[in-house]
Amino acid sequence: MRTRVFETIAGLRTALSNARREKPIVGLVPTMGALHAGHGRLMEQARAECDLVVVSIFVNPIQFDRAADYEAYPRALAPDVDFCTARGVDVVFAPPDREMYPESPLTFVEVTRISDHLCGAHRPGHFRGVATVVTKLLNVVEPDRAYFGEKDAQQLAVVTRLVRDLNLPVIIVAVGTVREPDGLAISSRNSRLSPDERAIAPALYRALQQAGQLIASGSPNAANILREAAAAIPADPRLRLEYLEIVGAETMLPVERVDRPVRVAGALWVGDVRLIDNILCG
């Protein structure tokens, strides 16, 4: 069946309230488009667990801390809709900016503490923008289940906590990271890498794996682990490590000793493309 595309909140709400009578369990997969196999995994899981699958495609301006990144973000609605159709998605919600933000918002959702480190420390206002748009999308779609990738583990932790704190009636489902054969986490931003940059981009995942091996071998000291792991990133003028941290798996706060489940998370600039990745350990 062809995927139905809605650009307005009113149109989407009417269609969903009708469809819900026959298809009661609604799953939402929020995305920013430029869809790839990582998004595909979220859609497949939603398709397996829900009666009606909604994918939102919205490049959310208020979560970008750099205008150039927002402008360079890849956008291509027609192939994205085909991608959704091929995965059995019922509905695509692709609102223009003015539909989501008809006026400058005065209300924001902010999840403190979990947003303090990692990307939160380097991208001011990013998680406030994410938490706000996710809350809006959950209010608009009213899904029973919403799907988020572990690739963006801090985002997943922020959303999980905001749903709990605000008593939103939705189950947040975490989906594992989809990688290229050489380990590079699939991302819409990978398309902006030159062939040379693409070849060195797996350096971040290799550093994470190095940290993971040290943790698995019982090494307890986070600073030592991070020093060795960072050394796995080649000295190359195109590579700049923004952060590499070991954080509690739910708190997203740095640990000094690794004595419980942790995430090792990093952000690496490859040329002018910023890549993030993480692994769960322990």
Q: Which of 39, 117, 122, 126 is catalytic?
A: 39
Tokens of 47: 């398709």
What is the DSSP-derived secondary structure letter of residue 263? E
| Cα–Cα nearest to 191, from 60, 64, 76, 82 | 76
Six-digit token pair at 88? Answer: 């059995």
Residue of 226, 224, 233 lying closest to 265 (CA atoms)? 226
Binding ligand AMP (rule: CB under 6 A), the pick from 3, 41, 276, 279 is 41
Contact status, residue 113 vs residue 91, Cβ threshold 8 Å: no
* Of 26, 119, 133, 185, the one binding ligand AMP by CB under 6 A: 185
Burial class (CB in 10 A: 0-12, 13-18, 19+), 184: buried
Applying CB under 6 A, does 87 fall inside the site for ligand AMP? no
CB of 59 to ligand AMP, least distance (A): 9
Cβ 268 vs Cβ 241: under 8 Å: yes
Identified binder of ligand AMP from the candidate list 111, 158, 175, 207, rule CB under 6 A: 175
CB-nearer residue toward ligand AMP: 157 or 214: 157
**Residue with Cβ nearer ligand AMP (153 or 225):** 153
Contact window for ligand AMP (CB under 6 A) among 3-11, 111-119, 184-192, 261-269: 184-192
Type of residue numbered 155: Q
Q: How far is the CB of 20 from ligand AMP (least distance, A)?
A: 23
106-165 binders of ligand AMP (CB under 6 A): 148-149, 151-152
178 near ligand AMP, rule: CB under 6 A: yes
Largest CA-CA distance found in the chain, in angstroms, rounded: 58
Task: Write the CB contacts of 18 (distance below 8 Å, at least 6 apart in sequence).
Answer: none
Residues binding ligand AMP: number (CB under 6 A): 17
39 is annotated as an active-site residue: yes
State yes or no: residue 92 binds ligand AMP (CB under 6 A). Answer: no
Using CB under 6 A, which of the segments 134-142, 185-193, 194-202, 267-275 binds ligand AMP? 185-193
Q: Is 132 left (phi over 0), alpha (psi -120 to 50) or beta?
A: alpha
* Tokens standing for residue 30: 């929020």
Rounded-to-integer distance, Cα 196 and Cα 219, Å: 34
Give the shortest CB-57-to-ligand AMP separation in angstroms.
8
Judged by beta carbon, residue 41 or residue 274, the one nearer ligand AMP is 41
Q: Hey, which residues does 268 pair with through a beta bridge?
A: 241, 275
Of residues 46 and 178, the one with the C-beta less far from ligand AMP: 178
Residues at the interface with ligand AMP (CB under 6 A): 31-32, 38-39, 41-42, 148-149, 151-152, 175, 177-178, 185-188
Which residues form the catalytic set?
A: 39
